[in-house]
Amino acid sequence: MSVAAKLALPTRMITFEEFKKLDLKIAEIKEVKDHPNADRLYLVKVNTGSEEKELVAGIKKGYKIEDLIGKQVVIVDNLEPAIIRGVESKGMILAAQDKETLCVISPDKPISLGAIVK
Q: Is the pLDDT of residue 6 over 90?
A: no
Q: Residue 61's pLDDT is what? A: 92
CA-closest candidate to residue 34, choices 6, 71, 68? 68
- Residue 110 in any domain: the answer is no
- Residue 115 in any domain: the answer is no
- Residue 85 in any domain: the answer is yes
Q: Is the pLDDT of residue 3 over 70?
A: no
pTM as predicted: 0.87
Q: Residue 12's pLDDT is what? A: 87
Domain count, the chain: 1
- Residue 92 in any domain: the answer is yes
- Residue 13 in any domain: the answer is yes
- Residue 111 in any domain: the answer is no
**37-40, Cβ contacts within 8 angstroms, sequence gap of 24 or more:** 37/85, 37/86, 37/87, 38/84, 38/85
- Residue 113 in any domain: the answer is no
Q: Residue 107's pLDDT is what? A: 98
